[in-house]
Amino acid sequence: MDDKSGGGAARATVLFLDRRQDLAAPLLHEFTYQALVYDLLESRDKLVQYGDAPSDRATLGEQDNVWTQSRHLHISTVIERLMAQIREFKSTKAGRFKEEGAQMSVEEMREVVKDIPLYNEVMAGHAKHLALCQGIL
């Protein structure tokens, strides 16, 4: 081989392959929540599409507490944590009232009514992240 650069070293060849053709890529992939979301779901900036409907979009950023607490964890840990938190929220008075329509005193109902907006917000956030996890898997 004639090397005109004078260094005597052979030239390197770089191959660009699709991940589907590289059998080692799945074994080397990072399995954190953030890596899987951005690699496997359609995303633009912080907006991620996780389903077919136009409403199946999530904005992931610093204002999303579930995202900031979970993005660097393994995906199985994220799913377990989300399910545990959902069970915990369902066991609150507001959760029992929403799920079962439990009989309560007027005083308890006043407390529950005050907590229902927070309950709805938390449950919607967790449902969004569970849907993201399902889109990944």
What's the chain's Rg over C-alpha atoms? 24
The predicted pLDDT at position 78 comes to 93
Q: How many whole angstroms separate alpha carbon 5 and alpha carbon 21?
A: 34
Torsion angle (degrees, nearest 10) of CA 64, 70, 76, 82: -50
CA dihedral (125, 127, 128, 130) positive or negative: positive
The predicted pLDDT at position 81 comes to 93
More confident residue, 74 or 100: 74
Vertex 34 angle, CA 31 and 37, to 5°: 90
Residue-wise pLDDT for 22-70, tens only, equals 666 666 667 888 888 888 888 887 788 887 888 888 888 888 889 999 9
The predicted pLDDT at position 11 comes to 87
Residue-wise pLDDT for 104-119, tens only, equals 677 777 777 777 788 7
The predicted pLDDT at position 20 comes to 66
The CATH code of domain 31-136 reads 3.90.830.10
* Every domain of the chain and the residues it spans: 31-136
The predicted pLDDT at position 73 comes to 92
Q: Which residues make Cβ contacts (< 8 Å) with residue 64, sequence separation at least 6?
A: 125
Q: 42 forms bridges with which residues in the sheet? A: 49
More confident residue, 3 or 9: 9
Three-class SS of residue 71? coil
